[in-house]
Structure 1
Amino acid sequence: MTASIITGPAPGSSLTDTDDTTAAQTEETDRSPRNARTHFTVAAVFSDHMVLQRHRPIAVFGTATPGTPITASILPSPPSERNAISHAPCCTPQETATVRTTTEGRWLVALPAMGACAAPHRLTVTDGTETVQFDDVLIGEVWLAGGQSNMELELRNSLHPEAAVDNAHDPLLRFYNTPKTGAVDERAERKSGWSVCTPQSAGVMSAVAYYFANRLRAELAGTTEVTIPVGIVDCYIGGTSITCWMSRQRLETSAAGREYLNRYDDQVAGRDLDAMRYDWTTWQTNFNAWNANIDAARTADPDVTWETLNAQYGECPWPPPMTPFSQYRPCGAFEAMVSRVAPYTVRGVMWYQGEEDEAYCERYRTLLGDMIDEWRGLWNDRLPFLIVQLPRWIAKSEADAGRDVMHWPVIRAAQMDAARTIPDVHIVVTLDCGEFDNIHPLDKKTVGDRLAAMALRRVYGNGDNGDESDNGMFTGNGPVVDGPESTACVRADGNGIIVIFRHADGLHFGHYNGDDLGINRDDVALGSPIDTAELPADASGFALSGGDGVWHAASARILADDEHDSGSGNDAGRRRVQVWSTAVPEPCAVRYGWFSWGPAPLFNDAGLPAEPFTRER
């Protein structure tokens, strides 16, 4: 297959103020003392206002002259500083640990695990001669938000940004934007730092991550008398393949990874470095101009269509030229971003990515599993991964031509398989959240809320909270996170196939983004019922095959509780759907939502969408 669709960074997303050529040319002459001393440095992810992970040993790390002893200490800030920020009393003692720098010049101090505390602390790191000090340090829950443009899309560019940004005032919600680059950029790192969530700062935060953290803050507040801060490490770049987030050593271990490496190596082989820098600078200038035009046009008219934008400003200049310093090259983001923030102690990872790999979708399941395994090794922890399954999407040009290359269903299936086969990997279905002809759907609140619900249920709801003080509320209970899932299908007595679902109490046909019902999504919530239990073939999302490999759109109806047949069993709660088509008198297989773009009307009473599937009878 060849690449037919490009994704690129989310329009309007801020990049670092240095480009990749700067990263390759940065000199040490402007070295800043923020995290650097004569004989040691502390990793840039550590700064004032950071949040440290509760109930886990806290990794503090950096570089130093080999053999240098490094001591890290954390203690409550003086009462005067504490009262200025929080009324919470001091709830942790002073903790100290020392380690000697390795012969490779790296050091890592593990401070003892501590409970959550909203009162500010001071973290100090010293070699016995000089000290680096960080103030207003909180202890709570920390998550890494990773992926490409749909994780990158910022709060200020999401749906209803004015209200969201104006209300984004929470001194106990903080975030760190990892500089976006494909080569280590120490100047950008020195300018980076943790930010307290305010209307002035929150606009450049990942919208998905903001809504996730906002709900997490609210929900965890009810589980314990201790106030729990939340921190987000934003680590994403739009337009990146999953291979950008893995090491060359790991990619070389699989045929799928080697294919990506070989394509990259062929693109840069024998090319002059100065010529590549020139090509990159030219592309960056054109891309920045296009991005600024798009941003201005969408600000002036939020409802402007991509067809209009492309006609006025041209298609996005994509892909960029491939270079050894590009963030879009295999391993680039891993080397310049992931390896710079790891192993900062986090509770887990949110992952929203896959669009850029659609042309090589058959390789995605292998690469996703390899990336999860590599990151867990890097953190030395079986981190929970919360994966956002790709929503529906198709470009208008493809839809107008009646083409659907069916790559996104394969990516979705790979993501679902990872969640079902890899321990502590969970999936959030967003089939109902896509937008026609917009690969960057603006409704990130629904996505962030569902991620938070998944974390509350699967991560915090399993009793693994660290101590008895905040166990119990979500154990065995908590938010509903599963939409209808097909478990079996049987031949109907009369016509077609009956599909049996679980997690399907209150199964109904409901509204979704992009349906043709003439209803504004601002007025009707996703999943709210449609007044019918039966839909025609062009609106049901179901299809049938007679075993010849040809699929036909099929009608569907939700069976009432008393409509039992010999094959369906006695499932209560409207958990069965009959699917039929006159074009397929002897159906052998059924599928739902198996397209890039199409109807997705099936929901449960929690308003959660049915997952896409294909199943043989």
Structure 2
Amino acid sequence: MNMKYVYTFLVLSFCSVFMPVSARAGEPLSVTALFSDHMVLQQKSSVNIWGKCGPGERLTVLADWGKRVSTIADAKGSWRLKLKTPVAGGPYTITIKNPDTELLIKDILIGEVWLASGQSNMDIPLKGWPPGDTILNSKKEIEMADYPHIRFFKVPFKIASTPLNTVEAIWTSMSPETAGNFSATAYFYARRLHKTLHVPIGIVQSSIGGTPAEAWTSRPMLEKFGDFNKTVNSLDRVKLDSNTPTALFNGMINPLVPYTFKGIIWYQGESNVGRAEQYKRLFPALIKDWRNSWDEELPFYYVQLAPYLYKADDQKEQSQKLRDAQRYGLNLPKSGMVTTLDIGYLKTAHPPYKQEVGDRLARFALNNDYHLKQVPSGPLYKSAKHIGNRLIVKFTSVGSGLVLSRNNPDNFEIAGKDKVFMKADIKILERKVILSNHNITDPVYARYAWSDGSTATLFNREGLPAATFTSEK
């Protein structure tokens, strides 16, 4: 055999084995849809940017605010890098390129970026779901929604048995033509931040109505938790829906990891009513789970359920227990809970007063993360001490003082060791509430707003209502 042809054959064989897959298959350079025209990036941060290309390929990201960074894709063609962002402003452009392709992302704003998630009270749009579920002054609010520097990225509904890595959506500026389609709670939150901070605001909305907390939690966390192992160990054999444990985390949260957020706002709990003892453990587990996913202790601000007369047999007179269980999220750092006892609407689980909800959520961010000092929370139960025939109840977050509602003064109850609760007489002494009932000589327990339809009795002078609680263990 001619040695020239043998040599040529060997060279070609070597190249076919060791040539990078990108050169053989031509895998294109790409990024997730989060990185697209009109996006908002977190200011003064090293933001994560990631995508796909050929294995071993070198690529470069250039931002026209003067930053340039390069990296090399791994053996599977995945790449990820960090890009430093300036102070709030824009619009800017980013170019991502390798030897074969150049991607251009235009009209980028730099500002504050938050993830908004939960079930229907986060999902209900500014236009509402009429006729049954509406937003206060919806028409006027939409007409006035001319905020090109408030932008939403709405994650489409997606369930999956394993974690997904991609998402398909677009960034949208708020205008009278677009705002009605996005979360009312998140919109009012963003508007308050925008008007106060005078910077662009980005909201990534990932929410679906009628969904329990376990659906938004990762499989590894649920396996540690233990209560849902029968389902999570057979995900490949069950029919998935929006209630399936971990299905929404896989389809609607994991694809967002590790996009750089300032923090998270959350409005959920209705679908867990009737399972309050479990929620005391599950909700803090979810918060820890998301922080683990982002490898960062992100601020997590959430909304306590509003009063509503639940109709299902397993939920009647159970929502107050879930409200109390929601307090357990406050045991974690960088958390905050909005109380809505004064802005419920008993005819629907979706109260129309989302302006107030958004503003109250924003109080936490403005106080805790943007250092604009204000009282962010209503009074929170701290302790109950028995002195004679009275219970002395102490609170945190009392602001400049405690006040009672003149319209609804009787939502406190006390009980002895028998746990037979009776309405309490109430007196306020400085930062404490003194409770008594002439029929109970040795009171042990106190509770507040302990029914589905309870409304607010106690406020701080800043106008924020106290949260449902019970001193029972």
Band the TM-score falls in, shorter-chain normalisation: 0.7 to 0.9
Deviations 1:176-206 (A, max 9, x none): 10111114999x954x200011011111111
Unmatched segments (≥5 aa) in structure 1: 1-36, 76-92, 222-227, 270-321, 462-473, 511-529, 560-571
TM-score, with structure 2 as normaliser:
0.86
CA distance in structure 1 between the partners assigned to 2:439 and 2:75 by the alignment:
71
After superposition, the Cα gap between the structure-2 partners of 1:345 and 1:74, relative to the gap in structure 1 and judged at 3 Å, is same
2:170 is aligned to 193
Query: Do the aligned residues in 2 keep the contact of 1:243 with 1:260 (CA within 8 Å)?
Result: no
Aligned mates of 2:197, 2:271 — CA distance in 1: 35
Match runs of 1:134-283 below 5 Å: 134-157=105-128, 158-183=135-160, 189-190=167-168, 192-221=169-198, 228-258=199-229, 261=232, 269=237
Aligned letter for 2:150? Answer: L
Q: How does 1:372-383 map to 2 (within 5 A)?
A: 372-383=287-298
| Mean Cα deviation higher: 158-167 or 175-184 | 175-184
Q: What code does the residue aligned with 2:440 have?
A: V
Check if 1:499 corresponds to 2:396: no
Q: Tell me the residue number matched to 2:411.
A: 541
CA separation in 2, counterparts of 1:49 and 1:185? 27
The share of aligned pairs that are identical, in percent, is 34
Given residue 151 of structure 1, which amino acid in structure 2 is its aligned partner?
M
The answer (yes or no) to whether the contact 1:43–1:341 under 8 Å persists in 2 is no
Aligned partners of 2:60 and 2:98 also within 8 Å: yes
Which whole-Å deviations, capped at 9, do the CAs of 1:490-543 have from their partners, x for residues lacking one? 4466x5433334415342223xxxxxxxxxxxxxxxxxxx37xxx6xxx51111
The Cα of 1:551 is off from its aligned counterpart by: 1.9
Letter in 2 for 1:615: S
- CA distance in structure 2 between the aligned counterparts of 1:159 and 1:196, rounded to whole angstroms: 22
Please point out which of 425, 436, 440 is paired with 2:335.
Answer: 425
Q: How far did 1:396 drift?
A: 5.8
* Aligned residue type for 2:254: S
C-alpha distance in 2 between matches for 1:185 and 1:611: 36
Q: What is the CA deviation profile of residues 294-349 of structure 1, one whole-angstrom value per residue up to 9, with x for unaligned ones?
A: xxxxxxxxxxxxxxxxxxxxxxxxxxxx723x333222221222111221111000
Q: Paired residue for 2:30?
A: 41
Answering whether residue 87 of structure 2 is matched by residue 115 of structure 1, we say yes
Q: Distance in 1 between matches of 2:383 and 2:293?
A: 39
Instruction: Assess, with a 3 A threshold, how the Cα gap between structure 1 residues 362 and 615 changes in structure 2: closer, same or farther.
Output: closer
Does 2:405 align with 1:486?
Answer: no
- Where 1:173 maps in the other structure, the secondary structure is strand
Q: Which moved more, 1:125-134 or 1:42-51?
A: 125-134
Aligned residues: 439
Q: 1:438 to 1:583 in 2, by over 3 A?
A: farther
The 3-state SS of whatever aligns with 1:432 is coil
Task: Go from structure 1 to structure 2 and tell me whether the alpha carbon gap of 1:71 and 1:591 turns closer, same or farther (over 3 Å shift).
Answer: same
In the TM superposition, what are the counterparts of 1:468-487 in structure 2 within 5 Å?
474=372, 478-487=373-382
Could you list the per-position Cα deviations for residues 27-65 of structure 1 after superposition, in whole angstroms to 9, with x for gaps in the alignment?
xxxxxxxxxx95232101121111100121111112233
Q: Does the residue aligned with 1:591 lie in a helix, a strand or coil?
A: strand
Select which of 115, 124, 129 maps to 2:95.
124
| Other structure's SS at 2:366 match | helix
Match of 2:308 among 382, 388, 393: 393
Equivalent in the alignment of 1:60: 49
Amino acid at match of 2:358: G
The amino acid that maps onto 1:323 is K
Give the match's secondary structure for 1:235.
strand
Which one of the candidate residues 316, 319, 325 is aligned to 1:408? 319
Q: Residue 343 of structure 2 contacts residue 353 of structure 2 at CA under 8 Å; is this kept in 1? A: yes
Compute the displacement of 1:413 (Å). Answer: 2.8
Partner SS, residue 370 of structure 2: helix
- Distance of aligned partners of 1:359 and 1:105 in 2 relative to their CA distance in 1, 3 Å threshold: farther
The answer to whether the 8 A contact 1:182-1:328 is kept is no
8 Å CA contact 1:46–1:193 kept in 2: the answer is no
Q: Counterpart of 2:446 in 1: which secondary structure?
A: strand
Pick aligned residue for 2:68 from 96, 99, 115: 96
Within 5 Å, which residues of 2 pair with 1:530-569? 530=406, 539-559=409-429
For residues 68 and 375 of structure 1, the distance between their equivalents in structure 2, rounded to whole angstroms, comes to: 31
CA deviation map 1:48-93 (0-9, x unaligned): 1111001211111122332222322211xxxxxxxxxxxxxxxxx3
Pairing 1:335–2:205 present = no
**Alpha-carbon distance between aligned partners in 2 of 1:459 and 1:611, rounded to the nearest angstrom:** 23
1:176 and 1:195 in contact (8 A); partners too: yes
CA distance in 2, matches of 1:342, 1:350: 16
Shift in CA distance, 432/73, structure 1 to aligned 2, threshold 3 Å: same
CA contact (8 A) 2:274 2:319 kept: no
Kindly provide the amino acid, as one letter, of the partner of residue 169 in structure 1: D
- Per mean C-alpha deviation after superposition, the further-off stretch among 354-363 and 599-608 is 354-363
Aligned position for 1:527: none
Partner of 2:9: none
Q: For the structure 1 residues 504 and 378, does the alpha-carbon distance in structure 2 shift closer, same or farther, using more than 3 Å as the test? A: closer
C-alpha distance 436-260 of structure 1, shift in aligned 2 (>3 A)? farther
What secondary structure does 2:275 align onto?
Answer: helix
- Tell me, in whole angstroms, the C-alpha distance in 1 between the residues paired with 2:283 and 2:472: 26
Give the whole-Å Cα distance in 1 for the aligned partners of 2:79 and 2:262.
22
> Partners of 2:242 and 2:394 in 1: how far apart?
45
Contact 2:306 2:349 survives alignment (8 Å): no
Separation in 1, partners of 2:311, 2:216: 30
Which residue number in structure 1 is paired with residue 14 of structure 2?
A: none
Structure with greater strand percent: 2
Q: Secondary structure at the match of 1:155?
A: coil
Instruction: Give the aligned partner of residue 613 of structure 1.
Output: 469
* SS state at 1:134 partner: strand
Match of 1:448 in 2: 358
| CA distance in structure 2 between the aligned counterparts of 1:589 and 1:42, rounded to whole angstroms | 56
Q: C-alpha deviations, 1:254-303, integer Å up to 9, x for none?
A: 213426537x76xx85xxxxxxxxxxxxxxxxxxxxxxxxxxxxxxxxxx
The DSSP-based 3-state class of the residue aligned with 2:441 is coil
Task: State the shift of 1:548 in Å.
Answer: 1.1
Deviation at 1:404, TM superposition (A): 6.9
Gap change, CA 1:438 and 1:171, over 3 Å in 2: same
**Bigger Cα displacement from structure 2, 37-46 vs 192-201:** 37-46
Give the AA of the match of 1:500: K
Task: State the one-letter code of the partner of 1:552.
Answer: M
- 1:102 maps to a residue whose letter is D
Residue of structure 1 equivalent to 2:131: none
- Measure how far apart 1:414 and its partner are: 2.9
The aligned counterpart of 1:298 is: none
Question: Counterpart amino acid of 2:326?
Answer: Q
Q: Contact conserved, 1:404 with 1:595, CA < 8 A, in 2?
A: no
The RMSD of aligned alpha carbons is: 2.6
Q: 1:208 to 1:59 in 2, by over 3 A?
A: same
Alignment-mate amino acid for residue 110 of structure 1? K
